[in-house]
C-alpha cells in the first residue's frame, strides 16, 4: 500500500515538475522580450513624470484662439475707463460717478456684460428724455456713440423738448411713445427749467417728479430709471436797455438736492453732473471761465456738450466695472 502511494506521488510529482519547467521557460523568454522592448523605448522615447504642458503656437501661426485667460475662466469683463481732459480753468471737481447703492442698474449692466462678452447679440436700447440740453442732441449722441464703440449693439435714442419740465412728459401719448421703444434703460434729465422759476418750490418739484416716475413705471415696470442733475446756469438781469448782467442761479443747488432726495426715496440711480463739475461753489464758474457756455448763460457750446457726454460715458463705465468686478 505504501509503495503504491509513493509511486502515485512520484508519477504526479513528475508531471508537475515538467509543467513548471515549461512555465519557467515561457516566463524567461517573455522577460527577455520585454526587457529588450523597454530598452528600445527608453533609447528612442524618453519618459517624463507627466505630459509636457502644451505651448501656444507661434504668433506667425494661428493665434486668434490662443487665449489662456478665457480658457481657464480668468478673464475679467472690465473695460478701460478713459481719462477726461478738462479745460485748464476747471477747479474743485467732484467725483464723477453714478449713485446706485441698491443696484437699480444691475439688470441693464448685466445686459452690457453679456453683449461685451459675446454671449448676447441683442441690441440694448437706451431712451434719454429731457429738456433743451438733450434736445440739442450733442450730449446724448456723444455718450451713445462712445457706448456703441465699447460694447457694440447699442441703440441710444434721445427725446428732448425745448423748455421742458419733467411734467412735460406726463402726457399719456408721450409715455406711450417711450414704452413703444422697449427700452432697457430710461434716463431722465431735467431740473434747469424747474430751477429757473423764481418761485421754485421743492415740494411741488418733488410731486412732479413722482408723477412722471409713477407713469413710467406703470408702463415699464421692470425698466431701471437713471436721473441726471443739471450742469448749472445763471440768472439774467437787465440793468439797462442795452446791457444785461448775470449771476449764478442759487436755486440750481436746491433743485439738485431735491432730485437726489427723490431718487434716494424712490429707487432711482443718479448721475450728479452738477456736483461732478464743481457743485455749488464751482460748477457755473468752471463752465463760464472755460468759455463753454453760450451768451445766454444757460445753454452750452458744442464743446461743452461733448465734454458732458464724455463725463456721462465715463461715469457709466465706472458703474459697469464696479458691477462686473464685484
Query: Tell me: the pLDDT tens digits for 157-196?
Result: 999 999 999 999 999 999 999 999 999 999 999 999 999 9
Place of cell 465734454: 307
275 pLDDT higher than 80 = yes
Q: What is the pLDDT of residue 64?
A: 33
Domain membership of residue 23 (yes or no) is no
Burial degree of 133 (CB within 10 A; 0-12, 13-18, 19+) = buried
Number of domains in the chain: 1
54 pLDDT higher than 90 = no
The number of residues in the chain equals 326
Task: Pull the grid cell for residue 255.
Answer: 433743485
What is the mean predicted confidence (pLDDT) over 14-22? 46
Domain that holds residue 154: 96-324
Domain membership of residue 66 (yes or no) is no
Domain membership of residue 167 (yes or no) is yes
296 pLDDT higher than 90 = yes
Yes or no: say if 190 and 165 are a contact pair by the CB < 8 Å rule.
yes
Per residue in 250-289, is it b (16+ CB within 10 Å) or e — as a string? ebbbbbbebbbebbeeeebbbbbbbbbbbbbebbbbbbbe
CATH code at position 118: 3.40.50.1110
Domain membership of residue 25 (yes or no) is no
Residue 238 pairs in a beta bridge with 244
Q: What is the pLDDT of residue 268?
A: 98
Q: Which of 35-44, 66-75, 137-146 has the highest average model confidence (pLDDT)?
A: 137-146
CA distances from 31 to 26, 34, 37, 38, 309 (A): 9, 5, 10, 10, 82
Q: Is the pTM of this model over 0.75?
A: yes
Domain membership of residue 20 (yes or no) is no
Domain membership of residue 258 (yes or no) is yes
Domain membership of residue 42 (yes or no) is no
Domain membership of residue 273 (yes or no) is yes
Yes or no: say if 246 and 297 are a contact pair by the CB < 8 Å rule.
yes
Q: What is the pLDDT of residue 22?
A: 47
Residue 236 pairs in a beta bridge with 246
119 pLDDT higher than 90 = yes
Q: What is the pLDDT of residue 240?
A: 67
Amino acid at each position: 500500500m505504501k509503495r503504491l502511494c509513493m509511486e502515485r506521488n512520484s508519477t504526479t510529482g513528475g508531471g508537475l515538475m515538467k509543467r513548471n519547467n515549461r512555465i519557467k521557460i515561457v516566463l524567461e523568454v517573455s522577460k527577455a522580450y520585454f526587457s529588450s522592448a523597454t530598452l528600445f523605448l527608453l533609447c528612442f522615447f524618453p519618459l517624463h513624470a507627466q505630459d509636457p504642458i502644451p505651448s501656444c503656437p507661434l504668433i506667425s501661426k494661428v493665434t486668434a484662439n490662443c487665449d489662456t485667460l478665457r480658457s481657464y475662466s480668468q478673464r475679467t469683463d472690465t473695460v478701460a475707463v478713459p481719462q477726461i481732459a478738462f479745460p485748464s480753468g476747471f477747479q474743485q471737481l467732484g467725483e464723477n460717478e453714478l449713485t446706485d447703492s441698491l443696484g437699480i442698474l444691475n439688470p441693464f449692466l448685466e445686459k452690457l456684460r453679456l453683449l461685451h462678452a459675446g454671449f448676447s447679440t441683442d441690441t440694448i436700447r437706451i431712451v434719454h428724455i429731457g429738456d433743451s440740453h438733450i434736445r440739442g442732441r450733442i450730449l446724448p449722441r456723444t455718450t451713445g456713440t462712445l457706448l456703441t464703440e465699447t460694447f457694440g449693439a447699442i441703440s441710444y435714442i434721445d427725446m428732448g423738448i425745448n423748455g421742458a419740465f419733467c411734467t412735460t412728459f406726463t402726457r399719456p401719448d408721450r409715455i406711450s411713445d417711450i414704452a413703444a421703444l422697449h427700452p432697457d434703460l430710461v434716463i431722465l434729465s431735467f431740473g434747469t427749467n424747474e430751477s429757473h422759476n423764481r418761485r421754485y418750490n421743492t415740494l411741488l418739484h418733488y410731486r412732479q417728479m413722482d408723477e412722471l416716475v409713477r407713469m413710467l413705471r406703470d408702463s415699464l415696470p421692470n425698466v431701471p430709471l437713471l436721473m441726471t442733475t443739471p450742469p448749472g446756469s445763471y440768472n439774467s438781469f437787465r440793468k439797462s436797455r442795452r446791457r444785461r448782467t448775470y449771476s449764478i442761479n442759487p436755486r440750481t443747488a436746491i433743485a439738485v438736492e431735491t432730485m437726489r432726495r427723490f431718487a434716494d426715496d424712490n429707487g432711482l440711480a443718479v448721475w450728479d453732473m452738477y456736483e461732478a463739475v464743481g457743485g455749488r461753489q464751482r460748477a457755473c464758474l468752471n463752465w463760464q471761465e472755460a468759455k463753454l457756455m453760450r451768451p445766454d448763460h444757460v445753454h452750452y457750446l458744442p464743446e461743452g456738450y461733448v465734454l458732458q457726454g464724455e463725463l456721462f460715458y465715463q461715469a457709466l463705465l465706472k458703474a459697469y466695472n464696479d458691477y462686473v468686478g464685484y
